[in-house]
Structure 1
């Protein structure tokens, strides 16, 4: 009996997290309302045709220019963009581990789309100089575009 107990412990140590993950995925896939059931159906149809390594956007996605403010390495960034790299029986996953159902549910009835939001024009860098005493008077500041 001690041998069986040790084997059972080893089995649990090795596979418990996988079984726990599978059970959680299965339980979370059960719709709690008719609206969620409809969304799950839409997600399943979308996920069956979705392509890996392609950008998908939610309806509120937007591009913006981002940089550290010190150097001129400003780059275009996007909020609401998803690139799925892996597929399983429940949907798709991004490289960061975001599941397609989470992104699809947040996107609402419109779902995820391949339509890119408009890209803003590249902004110019600028510096602001002024005296500390002029903090309440922005009209006295000097703004220089680079």
Structure 2
């Protein structure tokens, strides 16, 4: 949960004078905030999934620009790590419930060769396998 001091500081910054662009961003955020739900996943408009190396032999699917909010303040939502929806809205350009396409499992080249052929890659057999 986000502490009371953080929420108080955010309420002070919300009251500060703003440029026309920031006022429009806040209007769009407030419009989004009216229907936003805690515990629901939101994505930035440029969000994408990407396979990454896992700690074991299995790859891990990660997503860039995704957030789940678990706490609500007067004028924004907060993630478990303390990131707030207005800052993410500003950084990503918006927040949406539209999930980006999830890629299929990656394939990896699998090479078989005799160690005597180390300097002769033309003799290697290369196959694609799916983990």
With the shorter chain as reference, the TM-score category is 0.7 to 0.9
Q: Which structure carries more helix by proportion?
A: 1
Equivalent in the alignment of 2:104: 121
Closer/same/farther in 2, CA of residues 88 and 24 from structure 1, 3 Å limit = closer
Q: How far apart in 1 are the matches of 2:9 and 2:111?
A: 53
Secondary structure of the structure 1 residue equivalent to 2:88: helix
TM-score normalised per structure 2: 0.75
Secondary structure of the structure 2 residue equivalent to 1:76: strand
Q: Which 5+ residue runs of structure 1 have no aligned equivalent?
A: 1-16
Secondary structure of the structure 1 residue equivalent to 2:68: strand
Indicate the structure (1 or 2) with the bigger Cα radius of gyration.
1
Q: How does 1:1-146 map to 2 (within 5 A)?
A: 21=6, 24-29=9-14, 30-68=16-54, 71=57, 73-108=58-93, 111-127=94-110, 131=118, 143-146=126-129
The answer to whether the Cα contact below 8 Å between 1:31 and 1:40 also exists between their aligned partners in 2 is no
Q: How far apart in 2 are the matches of 1:26 and 1:143?
A: 60
Closer/same/farther in 2, CA of residues 32 and 67 from structure 1, 3 Å limit = same
In the TM superposition, residue 44 of structure 1 has moved relative to its aligned partner by 1.4
In the TM superposition, residue 89 of structure 1 has moved relative to its aligned partner by 0.8
Secondary structure of the structure 2 residue equivalent to 1:125: strand
Per-residue Cα deviation, 1:1-43 (whole angstroms, up to 9, x for no partner): xxxxxxxxxxxxxxxx955x45532332224301101111111
TM-score normalised per structure 1: 0.68
Say what the alpha-carbon RMSD is for the aligned residues: 2.8
